[in-house]
Each structure stands twice: as structure tokens, then as C-alpha cells.
Homo-oligomer: A and B are copies of this chain.
Amino acid sequence: MNIGQAADHTGLPEKTIRYYEDIGLVTPNRAANGYRVFGENALHQLHFLAKARGLGFSIEDCRNLLALYDDTARSSSDVKAIAKAHVATIDQKISELSAMRDTLSHLMKHCAGDNRPDCPILNELSQGK
């Protein structure tokens, strides 16, 4: 299977697949003409990557998860630890974003949003040390 089909199969852009090979996440074979050939194994890895990235795991997390997947002597606790750290990161981001959201929507409630220049949003941004 060439890269085009692999892209169709996994939903990953060709560029992304080439990039994943570049950084050593996948290693497709090569045909005599230099084209990448994706066998069942490589395709499987791409699917794995697509899912893991879709869940927000970093590339390095993905690398580690793939290694654990290949390691039949793994401990599930290692996998769970990665997931746990990732959830903590997500929670952190969510709470930061929520705080921003609250502040902003509060300010917006007090901004007339008309053609006059007075604006509580700008006032807030411009004042205070």
C-alpha cells in the first residue's frame, strides 16, 4: 500500500505520515522505485497514532505507548501512568481556559458593544499593575 492509500485508510495527511517516519514513529518498507510501502504492521501503527494523537497524547507519549504496545511483557501500570499524567495536563489546561473564559465573559457582559469608545474590556486590560 502506497502513502496515498495509507492516508485514506487512517485519515492522516500524507505530510503527517512522512513526518512520523522522519521522527521514527513508523518505518514503512520501500519499493524498488523508492515509494513507501505500508504493510499491515505499519498501517496498524498509523491507526494507533491517529487514535492516540486524537486523544491529545504528545508525540513522545505516543512513542512510549507504541513501545509499550509492542512490549508483550509490559505492565499495564506503565500505560496507566502515562494516561494519568496526560489527564492531569488536560485538567490543568481546562481550568486555565475556564478561568479565562469566566473573566472574559464577565467583562463582555459589561461592554455595550456599540459605536461609543467606552469599553470595560480595554479598561481592564490597561489598568492595574
Contacts and interface: CB of A to CB of B under 8 A. Distances in A.
A100 B56 contact: yes
A66 to B, nearest CB: 9
A116 B71 CA distance: 12
Stoichiometry (number of copies): 2
B129 A79 contact: no
Interface string A87-105: 1001101100110110111
A126 interface: yes
30 contacts: A9-B129, A48-B126, A51-B125, A51-B126, A52-B125, A55-B103, A55-B104, A65-B122, A65-B125, A68-B122, A69-B122, A71-B117, A74-B119, A75-B116, A75-B117, A76-B118, A76-B121, A79-B121, A80-B111, A80-B121, A81-B113, A83-B107, A83-B111, A83-B121, A87-B104, A87-B105, A90-B97, A90-B100, A93-B97, A94-B97
A73 interface: yes
Interface residues of A, number: 54
